[in-house]
Amino acid sequence: MTHRQRRIAATTRTLFTILTTSGVLAGAALAGAAPAGAVSDTGQIASGVTYRQFDVTAAKGTVHAHLLTVDLTDPHVHVDLLDPGAVAARSPVSTMADAAGAVAGVNGDFFNITETQHPGVEATGASVGPAIAHGRLLKAAVPTAQRFGPSLPPGTDTTDVLGVGVDRRARLDRLALVGTVRTPDGNLALRGLNQYALAQDSVGAYTAAWGPASRKRATCGSDTSRAAGCSTDTFEVRIRGGKVVDTADSPGSGAIAAGTTVLLGREAGADKLRRLTKGERVTVRRQMAASASKVPYRFAVGGYPVLRGGEPLAGLNDTTAAVRTAAGYTSGGRKLLLLALDGAVAYRSGMTIAEVADEMRELGAVDAFSLDGGGSTTLVARTPGDKTVSVLNHPTESPERAVANGIGVFSTP
C-alpha cells in the first residue's frame, strides 16, 4: 500500500475558514495543540499559489503535512530568498515574509545555530550552503565537515542547492565558488565568501552582505572536524577602492561599508595576506560555478537532495524521524512544491528522510530537496485581503524560531 493510499482524508473546512475562525495568526502559540481540521481540497492563496493540508501514515505514527504548490509558469508568481537583511543574522520566517511582501513561504537552509564547541565564540546564525537572492550572490558554502544538520546522504555536500533560474524553472544543482585575489605579488585563490567557516590555510572575503557579526567563527574548526579549536594564526586586510586601507592580526566585527571587502586568512592564507601593505592595489573577483545549469540563478538556497529523477537517493536515513521541511518540483521545474510537517504534539513523531523522499515522489516531485527541520520547520501564507502572513503549521518551538533564510513566494496583481 502506498503512502497516498494510506493518506487519511481530513475534514473539508476551507483554508479561509481555518485562518479566520481558528485564529492561526502565529502557529507557535498553538505549539502544544493538535492542528485545526485539515483541508482535503485546494485553497488558493494567490494567482498560481495553492495550499492544502493532509495526514500521512508514517512508520512512527500519523503526521500532518502542509503543502504549498507554486505554478512558476504564472507570470504573476515568482520565488526568491527570504533573508533577515544580513548573512550572519536570523529572523522568524513570518517576519522575513512580511518584510519582503511575500504571500507565502517556508524556512530554508541549516545554519550555525550554536557554538558550544567553541566557548566565547559568537554563533553567527549564517546558513551552511550557498545563497542567491534577487540574482545576487550572497554567500558560498562552508566546508562539508563544518556543516550543521543531520548526516548527508552519500555523494552530497554543502554546495548542493535548490534554485530557480532566470528562465523561471526550478532545478537541483551545485554551486562552487570560483574566486581570485589579484595582488602585486601574484594571484591568491579565494576560498570563501561570507561564510561562518573557512577551509584551513585559506583566504575568504566578507562584504556588506555579511552584516556586523564577528568573523571569529570563520577561523574555528578544521577541514575534518567542526569541533576543532580556533586558529591563532589569522590576518585580515580591508580593501576599499581597489587598495589596502587597513590590516589586523585577528578577525574583526562590525558593519562592513558598501564597496569595502574584508579579506580574512587563516594559517597559510594568513601568511599570504601579511605580505600586503597599505596602499597596495588588490582586486577581488568572485563568481559561482554551477555544475549542471548554464542558466543564471535568480534564487538559490542550500540543503541536500533526497530525490533525483523520481528515485530516492541511495543511503537515505530510514531510522531517525523528525519534523521536516522539504521542497521539490515537477513539470520540468515549472511547478514547485513546498512541504512542511506539523510540529504539534499529536504529530511530532515526524518522518525519516527516506519517508520524506517517498512522500515527495507521491506528491509528484521528480527531484526533491531537504531543508532545515525540527524547531525550524515553519510554513506561512497570507490570505487575500490580509496584510500579514499567518503561520499555518505548528512549529515545535514557541515563539517561532528565528532562522537564517527561507523560500519566499511572491505574487503581483
232-254 pLDDT, tens digit per residue, is 999 999 999 999 999 999 999 99
Mean pLDDT of the chain: 91
Question: Measuring CA to CA, which residue among 125, 230, 131 is closest to residue 177?
Answer: 131
State the pLDDT at residue 413.
84
Cell of 196: 561562518
Question: Measuring CA to CA, which residue among 86, 280, 296 is closest to residue 188?
Answer: 280
State the pLDDT at residue 199.
98
Q: What DSSP string runs through 139-154?
A: E-PPPGGG--SSPPPT
Cell of 120: 566565547
- Is 6 a residue whose pLDDT tops 70? no
Residue type, 396: T
- Is 271 a residue whose pLDDT tops 60? yes
Gyration radius (Cα) of the chain, Å: 22
In sign, the C-alpha dihedral spanning 155, 127, 308, 359 is positive
Residue type, 35: P
Cell of 355: 519517508
